[in-house]
Amino acid sequence: MEKQNVHYRDLGLSNTKEMFSKAMAGKYAIPAYNFNNLEQLQAIVTACVETNSPVIIQVSKGARSYANETMLRCMAMGAVQMAREAGSNIPICLHLDHGDTFELCKSCVDSGFSSVMIDGSHLPFEENVALAKKVAEYAHQFDVSVEAELGVLAGIEDEVSAEHSTYTKPEEVEEFVKKTGVDSLAISIGTSHGAFKFKAGQPVPPLRFDILEECEKRIPGFPIVLHGASSVVQEYVALINQYGGNLAGAVGIPEDQLRRAAASAVCKINIDSDGRLAVTAKIREYFAKDPKEFDPRKYLGEARKELVKLVKHKNETVLGSAGKA
* Cα separation, 266 vs 313, whole angstroms: 19
Cα dihedral sign, 167-193-267-63: positive
Q: Which range, of 23-31, 58-66, 231-239, 243-251, touches ligand G3H by CB under 6 A?
A: 58-66
CB 137 within 8 A of CB 104: no
Is there binding between residue 119 and ligand 13P (CB under 6 A)? no
Q: Which of 97, 119, 183, 274 is catalytic?
A: 97
- What percent of the residues of the chain are helix, what percent strand, and what percent coil, each to the nearest 5? 50, 15, 35
In this chain, which of 16, 42, 46, 60 binds ligand G3H, going by CB under 6 A? 60
**Of 149, 157, 274, 285, which lies in the binding site for ligand G3H, with binding defined by CB under 6 A?**
157
Least distance (Å) between residue 225 CB and ligand 13P: 9
Stretch that binds ligand 13P, among 120-128, 164-172, 270-278, 316-324 (CB under 6 A): 270-278
* CA–CA dist 218, 215 (Å, integer): 5
Which phi and psi angles does 324 have, rounded to 5°?
-100, 5
Q: Which stretch binds ligand G3H (CB under 6 A): 55-63, 110-118, 231-239, 311-319?
A: 55-63
Alpha carbon of residue 42 to chain centroid? 16
| Residues 80-109 close enough to bind ligand 13P by CB under 6 A | 97-98
d(Cα 174, Cα 132) in Å, to the nearest integer? 14
CB nearer to ligand 13P: pick between 6 and 208: 208
Would you call 286 helix, strand, or coil by DSSP?
A: helix
Query: Are the CB atoms for 206 and 251 separated by under 8 Å?
Result: no
Q: Check: CB of residue 170 under 8 Å from CB of residue 219.
A: no
Minimum distance, C-beta of residue 85 to Zn ion, in the bound complex (Å): 31
Task: State which of residues 15, 16, 34, 128 lies at the interface with ligand G3H (CB under 6 A).
Answer: 34
Among this protein's residues, is 97 annotated catalytic? yes
Q: Cα 272–278–282 angle (5° rounding)? A: 150
Binding-site string for ligand 13P from residue 194 to residue 233, where x marks contact by CB under 6 A and - marks none: x--------------------------------xxxx---
Residue 145 touches ligand 13P, criterion: CB under 6 A: no
Stretch that binds ligand G3H, among 60-68, 128-136, 167-175, 254-262 (CB under 6 A): 60-68
* Interaction of residue 193 with ligand G3H, rule CB under 6 A: yes
φ, ψ for residue 278, nearest 5 deg = -60, -45
197 lies in the binding site for ligand G3H (CB under 6 A): no
| Least spacing, CB of residue 265 vs Zn ion, in Å | 18
Q: How far is the CB of 63 from ligand G3H (least distance, A)?
A: 5
Sign of the dihedral through C-alpha 198, 202, 204, 206 = negative
Nearer to Zn ion, 95 or 227 (CB): 227
Which amino acid is present at 316? E
Indicate the helix (H) or strand (E) that contains 135: helix 125-140
**Residue 143: alpha-carbon gap to chain centroid:** 20
Residue 227 binds Zn ion, judged by CB under 5 A = yes
Nearer Cβ to ligand G3H (83/318): 318
Rounded to 10 degrees, the C-alpha dihedral 67/117/252/52 comes to -80
Interacting residue ranges for ligand 13P, rule: CB under 6 A: 34, 97-98, 193-194, 227-230, 270-274
Interacting residue ranges for Zn ion, rule: CB under 5 A: 227
Q: Which residue numbers are catalytic?
A: 97
